[in-house]
Structure 1
Amino acid sequence: MAQTAVRRQLLQMRRVQSDEARGQPHDENHERFVHLRQCREIGLALQGLPWHELGMLLDCLYLGAFRVTQAADLLRNLVLAQAGDEADWIRQSLANIALATQERDLYIFMGLAPRHLGKADLAPSAKDLAAADAACPGWSPEGWSIDGAARILALLAAPRNRAFAERFKDLRRTADVAELIALYRGLPLYPEPDSLHFEVGEGLRSNIKAVFESIAHRNPFPRDHFDDHRWNHMILKALFVESRLTPILGLEARANPELARILVDYAEERIAAGRPVPQDLWIPLKPFRDDRAVAAILPREEAVQ
């Protein structure tokens, strides 16, 4: 309970450092007041924690929030660099969204982004990709469309006058497929990630393969935030919709005994029916190769490695 409260407060405290990049104005006296009030709230939330645990927790949360801010700044720079003559439109639109008291500007931007920017993929350099991974381990903007990336920037620019998960839910409900893909690809960059589990579940249940893969593929959010039950469900659905497992980050690291049992049953059914077993299914089974049931179905070349 205390850790959740602290995480929420520290993420809010990072707002001061990211506001300038998002076009949101400052009030220095107000910021000092908010900072002091948040420090008091953090102190109350942390009462009773040992000092060594307190230090480790604060270091972890501070660094995590800072890295997310770095990732968002990198994404903004990529979009602006590729936007050409539309860069000023993006800057002005993000500033308007940050200052707006209602969400009309946010929804208008979501709809207009493809018209102004097109739908070409971003073109990050090797240096950009390395910086992305350093800022948010496992995150990569490679393969993202410029309009989708701009939509994520707009959502990040929106004022924090309501819960992020509520705003995300409203956008999801009215989004077309391209917007849904963009929204879910942005998961690693959003504040309050623990509040988004219901919305992520809605995406995993989607009948649209591309929407499912925007969460499952090349996205560190499942690796970092799913419990074993949801993780296992995602892996099993990927198999049923014939989505590759290899692009799932953490596929071997998040292997667990229950998943191994599920995959053994799945493989046995495929083998009995004379159907091929996807080769990447063996990746999350490797840590359990000494298990009798797993060893019985692993290909011989896999079992001896």
Structure 2
Amino acid sequence: MPRTADLRRLQSTVDRDRAVIADATRTATLPDGSTIRLARFGSGPTVVCAPMIAELNFVYLPHVRALSEEFEFVLYEPRISRTTRVGAADRARELLAVVDAVGARAHVLSWSDAGSVAYLAGLRRPEALRSVVFLGLADRYTFPPPLGWLTRALDRWPVQRLFPTVLLRLLLSHFLGGDRLTPRWVFRETGKIPRLADLFKHSVLPCMTDHRPTPGRFTIPSVLIGGDRDTLVTTDQMRRMAALAGEGCDFVLVPGGEHILGYAAPDPVNTALREFYARLGDPHP
């Protein structure tokens, strides 16, 4: 079991990273005239980080800290809803609009089911993206009971008010937690998110249910990096996803890596990122 001191250090690091993002966040105008909140770090070739919810953008900070002397990282707050479905297609349009707004053909770094957004954006406009990195993405999201029952019910019917929020928090804690970012810590963090069930139904779950990759369509250079101790996504699911992303997609398995991979195993992930970008010729000399 992790010691209380370890959990306090983890919380301190997460709080610090969230504060760093908040301090750097500014309002930016997208090509259609709408605005979005985004933060930029570093300099060099652009890496746009695909978000799930703003509260989870801290997962990218281990990579920003390690690589920002070589790359410019862009993090943004996605436009989500607790009342209307925001699907992967909506998010892919937003991701591509952010890429256009920062003014560069960009790399995309995606974590978890935000990878479904990056995948779809790459299908729609491959010329806009230099590469895509998938961290812990499945080929299909299928879950054992009781999570499978809950997700199917939430996806099909307006039943989120019938499920105690504590049940959803317990399930998320089990599947997102690990030895470093423990279920206890995840449970506490999910308790800070207002109307969690509504948010999950309308703005998180669609990225899982909309994810239907098919072989032979994705042409962008990519790499899928996953942990062998990921509770949400199995190694087989990640290997199949890498195969579906085509011959240009490498697969890197990180020993000891949990689902929140950048925090569980930052050094091997950052090494894999550097090696991948170097093969593409970035950063430029």
TM over 0.5, yes or no? no
Higher strand share: 2
- Higher relative contact order (CA closer than 8 Å, sequence separation 6+): 2
Specify which structure has the higher proportion of helix.
Answer: 1
TM-score computed with the length of structure 1 as normaliser: 0.29
- Larger Rg, first or second structure (1 or 2): 1
TM-score scaled by length of structure 2: 0.30
